[in-house]
Chain A
């Protein structure tokens, strides 16, 4: 039996209040909040965050990695390899990108479920529309990772009983490569097509699984067409109170990451022996019927989607626009950093991507690792304490000021390191921090990935 062995969702720390949009853009906005990736996050770093949640304490290590997004940090060059390096997966573990369309996330999941051995399927997305547009308000940023495999690898927590897929070529939304935002056809066309496709594929999947709408404990309808998703849910035959919240009010629609994120949230709420159905509407429709297993009762997820939804702090609309490159802000009059050296980054891969230091014979932990130490010392999961800190309003940063701290790690090691997801007023000596994989800056098109520290927040610490 193959199925889902574990999962992890990731929502960035910042929230944009949609009511802040209209006073500036003159149009758009709405009620509620959407998640906003920090200036130092992209789909690759968010994928790492979700994958780390999924793998923390997982009994199986993946033998394949799939990374799906509509907003890849690189083209030509794979992005899954950066995720692979940050997770310190074995070099014999294959890493593949599935990028471009929202639908690629379902393809990656299917490939993971159909393959041999455990696979980690990560979907991550940044949703950006033009200021005042519907995608800006409805979108959200986030990622989700599903660890799939067989019960030989680890206890299966949810088994797919059926998967049906309908493919249909039609134009509802589109974006040419390099364009800042998607364009939409008149709403009713897509609504009509997707509603029909969704209901048809749901029926096929339920029939194949030998179950009925009334047996469904949770129905998830994912897809960028909000009205179509609502219509499918409303006409599915599944009682309204069993239709999963699409998290639009707090997080927004996280695009390619939405199916896995909503599934993660549903599984975190599910009990053993329940039927969870995932319908996705993108260039056709997919429906997957999962049955949760008895092993789910013993499963303790890490940082839950619900806990992350409940945390988060506001970001102003101006800052959001600046972070997205939609509002160029005067930079500090300091030289912009040079692009990192490819050979140097390659040589120091374990340190740069994996945050691996070294340990000397006398127990001294060194960050970065010393060539005189024999023992490598992985530090990505270490937490630490702020010894001292400073706020630098002069240094170059994509989003000044730089908040910087000297961190002493539990179990040894000290690193002066930049902080992120933090307001300068909340930093204090003695504060607790954890490490997070981020994009420090981009120079000459080279994304400079490394680790930063961020405050450990109690509300998110559920495991």
Chain B
């Protein structure tokens, strides 16, 4: 028994990512075609050379046919996967394990979400028939409870906490402003962010991820085959996933200042990748900043800051593009929005660009050339009841 991972056994040889935005003129089919074709071109392969496909979408389509139909895939195994907001990451995990096992030589992981067709604000889960006793609170409200809990536990006063959260949003907006694929490309000052009215707990709309449509894709092969396709692939060092048992919502000892599922998946990923000091070894991290307090707590759960210190590191600029460890250099969910099935692969796409030196100079991470490992973190659910995914990717 054990979680052994597939360190250095699978490589990404091509990726694609659409702009994340309100694609009023593009449907699921167009978004999938755009991301898939960019990935095929990037890897220099055709759709027929790819042996198997994993499609991540939370609720924009059912079954593998959501992909096989628009791509006109014939006789291929195409699987649709769903794992809350970590759906895109789950597609990559399945595709990578499939080639690692030897079952297939080449696989594609692709994620898509067409959120803006719903006509409602925010993300809305497809209703599953139930007894009517489930909570109907928004994710914003659920995560808003993290901020006062964190502030109280670590003695951060209300005004300081407001500034810390605004500082996280300002950083991600600044990064997104430099990224042509981002939904929001405007810098926002801490002062302006602090002045926004609250909509859920203490959170304003600008503490929340945007809402956008988008798609992203990756093509994976076994590492020994990668050289046949390119000399600069991205190696998968670790893929970890933890589904919580939901006990946080019924456990009186849970205090809303950490996400144990994230800490567990990070520990597993670091063990798989042989990482002992993430903040010294990682070149960058793409994390699931669905709400600003989420990113704050993730810094501690992922071991990028000691418990109770992430707020200071945020204020010190440690996670800025030019900081010690850039976090969400592409702009994060904050700037990209969150097309659920695509987000996890969008994070990998940023690692793909940054670690291989493909990010343009104006948005290149400070650690480029000095470190060569990236972390992506994707979660789904709520404080106390979530799923968490962590990957470690390396340029060599």
Contacts and interface: CB of A to CB of B under 8 A. Distances in A.
Interface string B128-146: 0111110111101110110
Interface of A is mostly: mixed
Interface centre among B118, B132, B140, B251 (most CB of A within 10 A): B132
B250 A413 contact: yes
B130 A392 contact: no
B33 to A, nearest CB: 29
B133 A348 contact: yes
Contacts of A351: 131, 133
Interface string A359-385: 000001111100000000000000000
Given A348-B131, A348-B133, A388-B149, A414 B252 contact: yes
A462 interface: no
Contacts of A364: 250
B121 interface: yes
A457 interface: no
Interface residues of B, number: 34
Nearest to A413: B250
Nearest to B141: A392
Contact of A406 (B120, B130, B140, B145): B145
B127 A414 contact: no
A177 interface: no
Interface of B is mostly: loop
B156 interface: no
A351 B131 CA distance: 9
B201 interface: yes
Contacts of A414: 249-252, 254
Given A333-B121, A334-B121, A392 B137 contact: yes
A391 B132 contact: no
Nearest to B202: A390
A416 B144 CA distance: 13
B145 A333 contact: no
A406 B251 CA distance: 11
A396 interface: yes
A325 interface: no
Given A337-B127, A406-B145, A396 B200 contact: no
Interface in B102-142: 118-122, 124, 127, 129-133, 135-138, 140-142
A415 interface: yes
A277 B100 CA distance: 86
Interface of B: 118-122, 124, 127, 129-133, 135-138, 140-142, 144-145, 148-149, 198-201, 249-252, 254, 256, 384
Given A366-B250, A394-B140, A440-B132, 6 more contacts: A337-B127, A345-B132, A390-B200, A404-B135, A414-B252, A415-B250
Q: 9 nearest interchain CB pairs?
A: A340-B132, A392-B141, A390-B201, A341-B129, A338-B127, A448-B132, A344-B131, A348-B131, A394-B138
28 contacts: A333-B119, A333-B120, A337-B136, A338-B127, A338-B129, A341-B130, A351-B131, A366-B250, A367-B250, A388-B148, A388-B256, A389-B145, A390-B142, A390-B144, A390-B145, A391-B198, A392-B138, A392-B141, A393-B200, A394-B140, A394-B200, A395-B137, A406-B145, A413-B250, A414-B250, A414-B254, A416-B137, A416-B384
Interface of A: 332-335, 337-341, 344-345, 347-348, 351-352, 364-368, 387-397, 402, 404, 406, 408, 412-418, 429, 440, 448-450
